[in-house]
Amino acid sequence: MSRTINMMSKAHTVKGQGVLSAYEELVSLVKNNLGDIYDVRINQVRFADIRHYHTINPWFYFTLPFAKIKSSTVGYVHFLPETLDTSLKLPKIARKILYKYVIEFYKSMDNLVTVNPYFIDKLVEYGIDRNKITYIPNYVSTSRFYKLDKNTKNEIRKEYNLDKEKFIVLCVGQLQIRKGIMDFIEVAKKMPDIQFVWAGGFSFKKISDGYDDITKILDNPPANVKFLGIVPREDMNRLYNMSDMLFLGSYEELFPMTVLEAANCKIPILLRDIELYKGILEGYYLKASNVDGFVAEIKKLRDDPLYYNKASQMADKCSKYYSEENVTKMWKTYYNKIYKLSQKKTWGNNK
């Protein structure tokens, strides 16, 4: 009898978010590389050896006692209360209830996987046993995201009514204050000769943090800024390839899927200099701490071919490090360990 993993997720109900991308990539990775060991099921009510929860929906939480009879449960940590706090604008009482629920959901899991080792200590501070937390990075397939040739790049720019001669800076992410949109706009204002493009929208609609202020920007953006709204993921490879670089000014992230997607396309990556990236991306990206720093890095990438080539090589190294082969090994080791624990589950008799 084959081993079974039941992937539990409702990420598809919110478009344009990294959790959905991470879920799709992992399901594909396991099916393609571990399919001879594990039978992957999606949101099934039936028992499985491993139940891997990708989202924290209440129905999942309420059915946990039933699931745990024979399954080992794994919770995927894509966010913590402090990251939600800068993403959603909620009434105080609703925020308090939600944050308590998030931690209770994580505590209820037999095991947890976090995509950033930085958050292991944070989870421990919430009273979660360190021994049940494992770090496994995000992953992006090179069959979905890869470098295209220059002619194709120019054709894509034409489709989006963008000048093929201009230097294009791309940002990908939800429209939220924590994503650094205000600095993005200020940088664009200081560099009118460069084209800035933002792919992403209000995934959580009016409860997105900064909704009113950001809406005013959308109504009257600088002439060199183009907002594309939420773009289907199947179209994103073309956007990365039409761009000269990726710029994320986010103040908080766990492990941005956009960085891995851009890295596969071998375009330079510029990020805000924050502690969260040091354990997972050090050496693979350019960094700055404020508007002037971002402007300086973008100018250097545009004007210095050697600097641009070096930054492209950094992105390529990132792609190779977080390769399908390396990440598959991590998941195989992890799932095998969790499977052994599932064999100790009982329902009348041990398996």
In this prediction, residues 271-290 reach a mean pLDDT of 95
Give the number of other Cβ atoms within 10 Å of residue 313's Cβ. 13
Mean pLDDT to the nearest integer, 313-336: 96
Looking at the predicted structure, is the pLDDT value of residue 334 above 60?
A: yes
pLDDT at 344: 79
Q: How far apart are CA 276 and CA 252, in angstroms?
A: 7
Q: How many CA atoms lie within 13 A of 134 on its CB side?
A: 18
Give the single-character DSSP code of 88: B
The mean per-residue pLDDT over the stretch 42-53 comes to 93
Q: Which of 160, 115, 144 is nearest to 281 (CA)?
A: 115
- Name 264's Cβ contacts closer than 8 Å, sequence gap at least 6: 140, 142, 144, 145, 146, 147, 319
Of residues 19 and 218, more confidence is placed in 218
User: 183-198 b/e with 16+ CB inside 10 Å = b?
Assistant: bbbbbbeebeebbbbb
Render 110-168 in DSSP notation, one character per residue: SEEEES-THHHHHHHHTT--GGGEEE------TTTS----HHHHHHHHHHTT--TTS-E
Burial of 58 (0-12, 13-18, 19+ CB in 10 A): exposed
pLDDT of residue 351: 39
**pLDDT classification of 231: cutoffs 50, 70, 90:** very high
pLDDT at 210: 77
Mean pLDDT across 239-259: 94
Number of other CB atoms surrounding residue 215 within 10 Å: 13
pLDDT at residue 19 in the model: 84
pLDDT exceeds 80 at position 323: yes
Q: With the C-alpha atoms ordered 21, 104, 114, 253, is the resulting torsion angle positive or negative?
A: positive
The per-residue pLDDT for 181 is 95
**Cα–Cα distance measured from residue 112 to residue 119, given in angstroms and rounded to the nearest whole number:** 11
- Residue 167, pLDDT > 70, answer yes
With contact defined as beta carbons under 8 Å apart, do 270 and 108 qualify? no
Q: What is the pTM of this model?
A: 0.88
Q: What's the alpha-carbon Rg for the chain, to the nearest Å?
A: 21
- The whole-number pLDDT of residue 166 equals 96
Domain ranges of the chain: 3-139+323-350, 150-321
pLDDT tens string 61-118: 999 999 999 899 999 998 888 776 666 676 788 888 988 999 999 999 999 999 999 9
Do domains 3-139+323-350 and 150-321 share one topology? The answer is yes
Kindly indicate the confidence band of residue 347, based on its pLDDT and cuts at 50, 70 and 90: very low
Half-sphere exposure (CA, 13 Å, Cβ side) for 330?
18
For the domain covering 150-321, report its CATH number: 3.40.50.2000
> What pLDDT does residue 346 have?
54
CA 175 to chain centre: 15
8 A C-beta contact, residue 79 and residue 174: no
Stretch 11-37: mean pLDDT: 86
Q: Which is nearest to 114 in space by CA: 80, 150, 87, 78?
A: 78
* CA neighbor of 275 nearest in space, from 289, 262, 261, 263: 289
Average pLDDT over residues 36-46: 93
Q: Are strands 168-172 and 225-229 parallel, antiparallel or unpaired?
A: unpaired
In sign, the C-alpha dihedral spanning 52, 57, 59, 63 is: positive
Report residue 201's pLDDT band, with 50, 70 and 90 as the boundaries.
Answer: confident
DSSP 8-state class, residue 12: G
> Looking at per-residue confidence, does 43 or 254 come out higher?
43
Predicted pLDDT of residue 204? 66
Would you call 19 exposed, middle or buried from its count of C-beta atoms within 10 A (0-12, 13-18, 19+)?
Answer: buried
| Residue for token pair 């490879």 | 237
Alpha-carbon distance of 300 to 309, in angstroms, equals 11
* pLDDT > 70? residue 17: no
pLDDT band for position 54 (cuts 50, 70, 90)? very high
Tokens representing 239 are 């956007």
For domain 3-139+323-350, give the CATH number: 3.40.50.2000
Distance CA(142)–CA(140), nearest Å, equals 7
